[in-house]
């Protein structure tokens, strides 16, 4: 658990920072009851990632992939932001310059009220046409299988970045700029295993940022960051205010 001294140090750095950049992962939504990807209760546990979250998997068996996403949309539709999501909204309100980068596709940061967000891996509440590429909001739960585009009749897919796919260039550029220009970076609930998100922490550090990590367990970052705060996101993030 984070000590009072550690929390004081974190608050002091945040209070004097001109620019604050946050990177979140599945751990922040775990406190809302959303399963994480890895670990004992991870989403991958009963499925092989390469069976579901790749373009090849979708080509091979779009029905199976859509079933998995439908299942996740059903879970997410019942979830709401927790104290950590809300605390980040308050942090943004009082910061001079604030950028929230999330790997999560669940939309909970937006629901909480965060404004300046880069969604690195897309949005589960959007679908994209594999033919005409149109992207549309879709909150249907369940979604008809297989869903087709109203414009051109093409097969729709989740608007999500799968393994082996490039991230949106603008979103990645904005994120790199945000980490390279911040005074303080706070990383919440990510295993730090997936690239290119995993290179954002070293990029911030290389540009002189004070990096704070909040995680239930140690990660590859823990020994390198300036401050590693161990605990649940919903307990620790509000204490940064
Ligand atoms: C708590 C908590 C609580 C729990 N409080 N904490 C370089 C080296 C090696 C490999 C690569 C590389 N560059 C690229 C790759 C390949 C690949 C990759 O990184 N593979 C690794 C697995 C090795 N990357 C890619 O393929 C990326 N694309 C790419 O690089 O393209 C290049 C290209 C360029 C040009 C043309 C074409 C291609 C794309 C990556 C997309 C990742 N997408 C996923 C799945 C999306 C599907 C979906 O959501 O439906 O995104 S993977 C999955 O992992 C998901 C997550 O956003 C992402 C990160 O996971 P996260 O958030 O860290 O979750 P967990 O579960 O891993 O960790 C949770 C953490 O929370 C844990 O630490 C817990 O302890 C903690 N925790 N409860 C606080 N209450
Ligand atoms: Zn279309």
Q: Is 236 touching ligand 1 by the criterion CB < 6 Å? A: no
Which of 67, 186, 198, 8 is closest to 120 using CA atoms?
198
Q: Is 5 touching ligand 1 by the criterion CB < 6 Å? A: no
In the sheet with 117-119, reading across from the earlier edge strand, the strands are 117-119, 97-102, 19-24, 184-188, 210-215, 227-230
Residue 50: per-residue pLDDT: 67
Question: Which bound ligand lies closest to the C-alpha atom of 103?
Answer: 1
Joined tokens for residue 144: 């008809």
Higher pLDDT, 236 or 45: 236
Q: Is 82 touching ligand 1 by the criterion CB < 6 Å? A: no
How far apart are the CA of 159 and the centre of ligand 2, in A? 13
How far apart are the CA of 120 and the centre of ligand 1, in A? 10
- Rounded distance, CA 224 to CA 228, Å? 9
Q: Does position 47 have pLDDT exceeding 80, yes or no?
A: no
Question: Which of the following is catalytic: 85, 109, 121, 159?
Answer: 121
How far apart are the CA of 180 and the centre of ligand 2, in A? 37
Residue 45: per-residue pLDDT: 64
Query: Model pTM?
Result: 0.97
For residues 29-53, average pLDDT: 82
For residues 220-241, average pLDDT: 97
- Tens digit of each residue's pLDDT (9 = 90 or more) over 95-127: 999 999 999 999 999 999 999 999 999 999 999
Go through 172-193 and write b for each residue having 16 or more CB atoms within 10 A of its CB, e for each that does not: beebbebbeebbbbbbbbbbbe
Q: Could you give the C-alpha distances from 2 to 6, 14, 53, 230, in angstroms and in order?
A: 6, 16, 35, 6
- Tens digit of each residue's pLDDT (9 = 90 or more) over 157-207: 999 999 999 999 999 999 999 999 999 999 999 999 999 999 999 999 999
Q: Is 232 touching ligand 1 by the criterion CB < 6 Å? A: yes
Which of 85, 146, 151, 155 is closest to 115 using CA atoms?
85
The residue whose CA has the least distance to atom 4 of ligand 1 is 27
Q: Is 106 touching ligand 1 by the criterion CB < 6 Å? A: no
- Tens digit of each residue's pLDDT (9 = 90 or more) over 134-151: 999 999 999 988 999 999
The residue whose CA has the least distance to atom 35 of ligand 1 is 166
Residue 145: per-residue pLDDT: 87
For residues 33-56, average pLDDT: 81
Q: Note if 63 is an active site residue.
A: no
């Amino acid at each position: 658990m984070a000590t009072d001294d550690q929390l004081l140090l974190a608050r002091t750095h945040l209070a004097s920072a001109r620019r604050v950049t946050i990177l979140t992962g599945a751990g922040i939504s775990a406190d809302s009851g959303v399963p994480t990807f890895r670990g004992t209760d991870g989403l991958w546990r009963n499925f092989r990632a390469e069976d579901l979250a790749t373009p090849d998997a979708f080509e091979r068996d779009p029905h199976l992939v859509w079933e998995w996403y439908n299942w996740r949309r059903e879970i997410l539709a019942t979830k709401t932001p927790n104290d950590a999501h809300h605390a980040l909204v308050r942090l943004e309100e009082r910061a001079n310059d604030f950028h929230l980068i999330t790997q999560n596709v669940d939309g909970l940061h937006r629901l909480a009220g965060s404004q300046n967000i880069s969604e690195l891996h897309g949005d589960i509440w959007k679908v994209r046409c594999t033919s005409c590429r149109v992207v549309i909001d879709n909150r249907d739960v369940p979604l008809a299988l297989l869903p087709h585009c109203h414009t051109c009749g093409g097969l729709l897919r989740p608007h999500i970045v799968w393994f082996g796919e490039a991230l949106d260039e603008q979103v990645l550029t904005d994120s790199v700029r945000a980490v390279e220009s911040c005074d303080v970076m706070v990383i919440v609930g990510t295993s730090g295993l997936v690239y290119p998100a995993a290179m954002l922490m070293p990029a911030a550090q290389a540009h002189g940022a004070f990096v704070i990590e909040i995680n239930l367990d140690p990660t590859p970052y823990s020994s390198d960051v300036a401050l590693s705060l161990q605990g649940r996101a919903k307990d620790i993030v509000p204490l940064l205010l």
